[in-house]
Amino acid sequence: MELPYTILDVFTKNRLSGNPLAVVFDSDHLFDGRMQEIAKEFNLSETVFVQSPKNERHVATLRIFTPSAELPFAGHPTVGTAVLLALKQRITAVRLEEQVGTIVAITERTSKVSGHARFSLPQLPERIGDAPAPEAIATALGLQADDIGVAGLEPAIYSAGVPFVLVPVKDEQTLASIKLERRGWRSVFNGASQKVYAFTLAQNDRNALIAARAFVYQDDLKEDPATGSAAAALCGLLSEHYFETDGLTDFIVTQGKEMGRPSFIEAQVKRENGLLTHAGIGGHAIIVAEGKLYVDDE
């Protein structure tokens, strides 16, 4: 069986930065186990399998896999695949079916091999639990307890489909100094999520509001260069505890600098009467490689 695939870099305008993504086409007949094996073979943070949509008005169904598990939703696979399908089909509105719901991505072509996509979250972010104690979080991140917190924000667990422990730290120097204590990670983060999104107010980029780093426990504890689902969760915390006025607010999250893969995630929230009524994620993507995947028939 030959399956065409494309590699893109997402949340960036430049190749070899941002977050890499594999998109595999013609995958309707793949069983879950084979998709999981292929995702493990690519060994990227996520691999997307494009399948025929259940609704004929939609463009595709997306199955999203990490090297170890399937996800109901993820930001950089949605942005990257939307850009790719828009380039291939010459369309601007890309309707995608994901486990979290139907997503309509609005796209713009920037070249033959690159574009931009933005979409409203099908599931608004909400607080789903309490974070571990600040002292325990600080130890797991190689920080001091007084490094935790910024601008009155405190750690909490939020989810827009994928839960994250959101951890504000006092400044960008503290964010850059994080050194993970891998031993005991699972015992500290033993609640609704073992995924940690550390963030602070950006100081060194005038265009960005937030600087962030993501640490995701799968088979191992790894850093992720750009995490749209975490930025989506962060929209919930910021809407409730940072943004003070109603209306539409656009902001940018920078991530991946410490990994040498700078990324820029565009986020948007809308508040009405103090409540979050809309949240969205967007960004750029660019094609890096294309090829064929050879797999044995199942």
In 3D space, the residue among 147, 131, 129 whose CA is nearest the CA of residue 139 turns out to be 147
In 3D space, the residue among 142, 169, 146, 160 whose CA is nearest the CA of residue 227 turns out to be 160
| Contact present, 230 and 215 (Cβ < 8 Å) | no
Distance CA 146, CA 241 (A): 19
* Residue of 2, 37, 46, 272 with catalytic role: 46
Report how far apart the first and last C-alpha atoms of the chain are (Å, whole number): 9
What SS3 state is found at 296? coil
Question: Is 97 part of the annotated catalytic residue set?
Answer: no
Q: Between the CA of residue 132 and those of 83, 109, 154, 194, what are the distances in Å?
A: 38, 43, 11, 11
Indicate if the alpha-carbon torsion angle 284, 76, 235, 97 is positive or negative: positive
Radius of gyration of the chain (CA): 19
What SS3 state is found at 95? strand
| Contact present, 279 and 227 (Cβ < 8 Å) | no
Distance CA 274, CA 189 (A): 30
Distance CA 238, CA 244 (A): 9
Catalytic residues: 46
